[in-house]
Structure 1
Amino acid sequence: MWKVSRQIGKPGSDVGEFDYARGLRVSRDTGNVIIADVNNKRVQIFDGNEKYLYHWSVEVKGMKLCPLDVHRMTSDLVIGAIEGQAVIWSCPDVTDYSGVETRILKTFGNEYFVFPRSVVSNERKQLFVSDVGKHVVVSHDWEGNVIRSIGGLGSGDSQFNWPYYMCQDDKGRLVVSDSHNRCVKLFDRDLKFISSFGHGYFACACGVAQEDGGNFVVGDYDKQSILRFSADGKFMEYLDQDMELPSSSVATGNNNEIFAAFQDGVKVYTRS
């Protein structure tokens, strides 16, 4: 049995408030939660106990843009998927942000992305970006150069119909929620298809994350539910269902907690 133990943020535009929280990640080192605050056009950081720590505006070449996902590459670097491109910022993973100034180090993809949705990095210094506009997933090096692209609109193993959020699992595989094909797909580091799961359970697979024990957590945007699957893709249980608002993305934290982003903030689930 799972319950909401606390909520991070509330609706609004002041610091610590949200106008559509979406992509989020939880640091295993500090427990900090980094969250894309879409319509306020900023990224916010909280500690694991709801305390606001820091934020920065998402601004590229004088234009404020909407962030859709954020991912910590290293203890000093953050990558984000924003309108039409990906951005790498300098931002430390610390508990005291006094004196910290976030800087843009690189932007890339503006010439070929249509609607980038999610970003993930791995230990091989690869960056993966899902693009729901082109129905592709693209791998890059840390300079933003394209290594490989897979996909195109379709229902085949290596095709997508709106690839939404992604994560990397404990085996180094890329896990992609293929939302309108209503499943989750797994690929190796070279973007070769391995397997899929969740067929028959989703209306719109959206956020995806892996728990410490290897199980997967997946949010279904249209059914307004959050589901759990075993490490080999077998359905286990509904973590929550018939929610008042849909959850766009999920993340796992320390102490077996599940973080889910909603329009008005982030809910933290614990097993009771």
Structure 2
Amino acid sequence: MVNLITSTKELDFMRFMVYNIFMFLVFIIILSYNPTTLVYPPFGHTMGYHSATSLEARLLFGNKLSFNSPYGISAVKLKSDDKPGGEDDDELTVYCCNMGAHQIVYNKSLMDVKTYGKFGRGLGEFWSPTGIAASPDGWIWVADAGNHRIVKLFNTGDTLLWVQTIGSFGCAELEFDGPYDVACDFKNNIYVTDEGNGRIQVIDSSGNLVRIIDGLYRPKGIAVVARNDRWNYQRNDFIVVLCEDGIKKFSMSGKLLAKRKGEDFGLTKYNFAFCMIDYYGHIWVTDRENGCIHKFDRDLKYITSFGRKGSGDKEFIDPRGITIWRRFGQVFVVDATVIDYYWIGVDGYIKGCFPPVFTGDRPGTDIVFFITEPAIMDSKIYDSKGNVVREFVNNYEETPFEHYLIWDGRDNYGEIVPSGEYRIELVLTPTYSSRKKFEKILDTQVIVK
């Protein structure tokens, strides 16, 4: 009996230790979770607000505003609000479809938020609006899904004015069956995903049909970048649309250029909702199933995913609309009852040094690293005492993905370094607004014998 009791106590103790080790590891993982492809803006820019919840909205603006199933979102710098100089250039007007309340929520400033619309079929009324697009000229287009139409509004600077409606229920030209999303280009042409009819309708600024891209399987989110758009680094010219059978890229004339399914980059389940194109032509896609945002290059090559399921920082419960102000890399993401605000940062990791050990007879190693964003990289190599022995300054990496830094094993004076351990440090600085407030440091070690 004594041995049995002792064994039971030992077993309980082992279980206790295993449980505590497991919880410690979970705690470490939670603490270490801090992806930086997107980063929070500094306090001075937002007064500490990087998420707008229904509770915060009611506290700030009263019971007149409450998020009820928010969906599509669009951010723009209005020409009418663009004062001389550059001090206010990052102060944007943001519009969001508050679908469950059948209204549009928009701001005049950080502390001045308004709503427009109510439930109905007439003027000034919406029925479950899902997608929205806006231009610097003040025009706004709303995918009024329940009413099977596109609503055109105008922002006077003080209020929103109802301009016109386009379409009604049907399958003919300029008719819709549940329009889901809308995008616009610099000419104020709009691109509408006509979900029930399986097509995209391209409409000019006067409301005339330009073309139809059909044969799509339940198209939803859409984004467009035109060659002459002001903030377009690569002079890209394409359309991206999210369908239930994957992501598709088209030319402006409707030619299929590329397509990608979730299975192509390791997903078994996914629910792509909305998308946006940034300054470099990279494509960002919200995934409601996996609680994250996927990022691709302009050829739909997968780069990375940001976020995970959850309600904490840099986590999403049900990510929906996304918008990016390309000039500064300002990103707004709609979650279940929250609107999150980020800046584009940069993330990455060092894959390794090849070889990890070298000698003075055969000096040198290749440092292989991966980055998620274009970045300016300063690299330093330190000896075991913390002294800089070699420095590489201002290496501009234009593209994400894998890169190589070749160290020939020599110091700044051209001499082969003595034996010992050396720390390699890569400092990545973003190219957007976050560059003045954030940098990503990657490091690893190499041994010289």
Task: State the TM-score, normalized to the length of structure 2.
Answer: 0.52
Retained in 2: the 8 A contact 1:9–1:16?
no
Q: Which residue, out of 210, 217, 224, partners 1:147?
A: 210
The one-character-per-residue Cα deviations of 1:100-120 (angstroms, maximum 9, x if unpaired) are 3x2221111114211100111
In the alignment, structure 1 residue 40 sits paired with structure 2 residue 104: no
Question: What SS does the aligned partner of 2:298 have?
Answer: coil
Give the match for residue 209 of structure 1.
Answer: 276
Give the CA deviation at 1:216: 1.7
Retained in 2: the 8 A contact 1:16–1:52?
no
Retained in 2: the 8 A contact 1:120–1:128?
yes
The one-character-per-residue Cα deviations of 1:51-94 (angstroms, maximum 9, x if unpaired) are 343221155426542211111144221111002110101213x4
Give the CA deviation at 1:46: 2.8
Retained in 2: the 8 A contact 1:41–1:66?
yes
Residues 204 and 64 from structure 1, CA distance in 2 versus in 1: closer, same or farther, beyond 3 angstroms?
A: closer
Give the CA deviation at 1:228: 1.5
Question: What SS does the aligned partner of 1:133 have?
Answer: helix
Identity among equivalent pairs (%): 14
Q: Which residue, out of 322, 325, 335, partners 1:250?
A: 322
In the alignment, structure 1 residue 259 sits paired with structure 2 residue 322: no
Alignment-mate amino acid for residue 246 of structure 1: D
Residues 127 and 255 from structure 1, CA distance in 2 versus in 1: closer, same or farther, beyond 3 angstroms?
A: closer
Alignment of 1:43-192 (within 5 A): 43-46=104-107, 49=110, 51-58=111-118, 60-61=121-122, 64-82=126-144, 83=146, 84-92=148-156, 94=157, 97=158, 100=159, 102-111=160-169, 112-152=175-215, 160-169=216-225, 170=232, 171-178=236-243, 180-182=244-246, 184-192=247-255
Q: List gaps (5 residues or longer) in structure 2.
A: 1-34, 42-49, 79-90, 170-174, 226-231, 312-316, 346-437, 439-449
Retained in 2: the 8 A contact 1:225–1:243?
no
Question: What SS does the aligned partner of 2:280 have?
Answer: coil
Give the CA deviation at 1:181: 0.7
Give the match for residue 429 of structure 2.
Answer: none
Question: What SS does the aligned partner of 2:101 have?
Answer: coil
Retained in 2: the 8 A contact 1:129–1:137?
yes
Give the CA deviation at 1:123: 3.0
Aligned length: 256
Give the CA deviation at 1:215: 1.9
Alignment-mate amino acid for residue 194 of structure 1: L
Structure 2 distance, partners of 1:140, 1:64, is 21
Give the match for residue 52 of structure 2.
Answer: 8
Residues 37 and 209 from structure 1, CA distance in 2 versus in 1: closer, same or farther, beyond 3 angstroms?
A: same
Structure 2 distance, partners of 1:122, 1:214, is 14
Structure 2 distance, partners of 1:249, 1:256, is 16
Give the CA deviation at 1:149: 1.9
RMSD, aligned CA: 2.5
Give the CA deviation at 1:232: 2.8
Structure 1 distance, partners of 2:296, 2:338, is 25
The one-character-per-residue Cα deviations of 1:127-148 (angstroms, maximum 9, x if unpaired) are 2110221221111222333332
Report which of the two has the higher share of strand: 1
The one-character-per-residue Cα deviations of 1:140-177 (angstroms, maximum 9, x if unpaired) are 2223333322223xxxxxxx222111111342311111
Structure 2 distance, partners of 1:212, 1:127, is 19
Question: What SS does the aligned partner of 1:39 have?
Answer: helix
Retained in 2: the 8 A contact 1:18–1:265?
yes
Q: Which residue, out of 291, 302, 319, partners 1:235?
A: 302
Structure 2 distance, partners of 1:143, 1:125, is 9
Task: State the TM-score, normalized to the length of structure 1.
Answer: 0.83
Report which of the two has the higher share of helix: 2
Residues 47 and 8 from structure 1, CA distance in 2 versus in 1: closer, same or farther, beyond 3 angstroms?
A: farther
Alignment-mate amino acid for residue 241 of structure 1: R
Retained in 2: the 8 A contact 1:17–1:265?
no
